[in-house]
Structure 1
Amino acid sequence: MTQGTTDLAAERDRVLAELKALEDPRIRAVNQKHGDDHAVNLTELRAIAKRLKARPDLARELWAEGGTAARLLAILLLRPSHCALEELDAMLRQAGTPKVHDWLVNYLALKGPHREQLRERWFADPDPVIASAGWALTSDRVVKSPEGIDQSALLDRIEAEMTDAPERLQWAMNTCLAQIGITNPALRARARDIGERLGVLRDYPTPPNCTSPFAPIWIDEMVRRAGTR
């Protein structure tokens, strides 16, 4: 083992000890209700990342440890340009918890040079968790660069599959449904109709002053806001 490797391992261990010291069982209890298991306040975790700055070498060491807090920190220490396509694909399959999955997609895959290749690969994956990442990237395409995306075909898939899809995939499909309705006037009525008939997330508890994720309400509200600008 070289001196550099030894120093990096020692730094990794110090950071892991710092994360361990920040664990709060009350935070873990709240997160477990949402399928996550980390016990570190995310503001404190972000403060560590801000101090360490971009560190792909340390990030990969932390990711290899496998803990949720360590992997969240690893994502913050990486930049999209640091990650090859195959590395990001492997990381998504190792993500384990919803928060790690979401951060990986939004902070690295979505902003990196491989986003379209990953979108196509993940969208077609038989694993519904991996497919949900593909749908998330597809929703981004619908909003930002819809050219070349067959939105009618997406609505066909959503209409046929969303009701029985597992939760994470269902949520991602519903987001895509809403974004099509919001951004594509020609398909807005069909998107609203699909949302009404399927009823997915119709009764989702929504805090005051927040927009319901039920697609028809979401579509109408965002269109209304755009019309008042």
Structure 2
Amino acid sequence: MTETTVADVMAELAALEDPRIREVNEKHGDDHGVNLGKLRAIAKRLKTQQDLARRLWDSGDSAARLLALLICRPKAFTRDELDVMLREAGTPKVHDWLVNYVVKKSPYAEELRLAWFADPDPVVASAGWALTVERVSKQPDGLDLGGLLDDIEAEMKDAPARLQWAMNHCLAQVGIEHAEFRARAIDIGERLEVLKDYPTPPNCTSPFAPIWIAEMVRRGGR
């Protein structure tokens, strides 16, 4: 891909900028105003283009980076590239898409999970916890679930927001997926009261772990 193509894509993204969308996104820490449905439509048209994806990522623009994550080949990135990308992701949406759309599909996912889980940067650590949620759900063999609950019980209450959210998700997932730990997970959630008062729209499940666990267990007939 040539720089002209990159410039064309950047111009297309700029034309989609909507101040109202930006205003909403900025309340959540994101710094772009592009409708994500329209962004996905561009990605569908462009299809997979790894070189273009790298160039868009290197622009530093959040909308361009989100598009890059949709058109890249996840397995084409090295472990070190993914580590650098996570640390420079910046905004929550770019961070989340990188973890969910790229890192989870990478052959380095488990290696990075272990490295990020113990990282002193709470934003990086939150990615380690997000990958741990995936393991809790899909590949729990080898995980110390009791140890995870110990860590959550000791650290979640005072953790920075993004790390706290990821740890809370892990707490809920342990309770949902593993009946033998369900009572303890609910007890931890009730005592710590993390996200207990989080505003939840009608017909949505509260992120407060005891309610989240009970609702998902009810739906799944567990």
- TM class by shorter chain equals over 0.9
Alignment partners' CA distance in 1, 2:120 and 2:40: 33
Q: Which stretch of structure 1 is more off in the superposition, 70-79 or 166-175?
A: 70-79
Q: 5 Å matches for 1:148-227?
A: 148-227=142-221
Alignment partners' CA distance in 2, 1:16 and 1:71: 11
Match of 1:40 among 28, 34, 43: 34
The TM-score, its normalising length taken from structure 2, stands at 0.98
Letter of the structure 2 residue corresponding to residue 147 of structure 1: D
Alpha-carbon displacement from aligned partner over 1:122-174 (angstroms, at most 9, x marks no partner): 10110000000000000110010100000101001000000000000000000
Gaps of 5+ in 1: 1-6
Map of 1:115 onto structure 2: 109
Q: CA deviation at 1:208?
A: 1.1
Match of 1:31 among 25, 29, 45: 25
Gaps of 5+ in 2: none
**Deviation >4 Å, runs of 4+:** none
Q: What percent of counterpart residues are identical?
A: 69
Alignment partners' CA distance in 2, 1:82 and 1:47: 23
Match of 1:71 among 40, 55, 65: 65
Map of 1:135 onto structure 2: 129
Q: CA deviation at 1:80?
A: 1.6
Alpha-carbon displacement from aligned partner over 1:4-37 (angstroms, at most 9, x marks no partner): xxx6111111111111111111111110011001
Alignment partners' CA distance in 2, 1:73 and 1:166: 28
Q: Does 1:100 align with 2:94?
A: yes
Q: CA deviation at 1:79?
A: 2.1
Alpha-carbon displacement from aligned partner over 1:83-136 (angstroms, at most 9, x marks no partner): 111111110001000000000000000122111011011101100000000000
Alignment partners' CA distance in 2, 1:64 and 1:21: 20
Q: CA deviation at 1:195?
A: 0.2
Alignment root-mean-square deviation, CA: 1.0
Count of residue pairs brought into register by the alignment:
222
Alignment partners' CA distance in 1, 2:179 and 2:34: 43
> Which structure has the larger Rg over C-alpha atoms?
1
The TM-score, its normalising length taken from structure 1, stands at 0.95
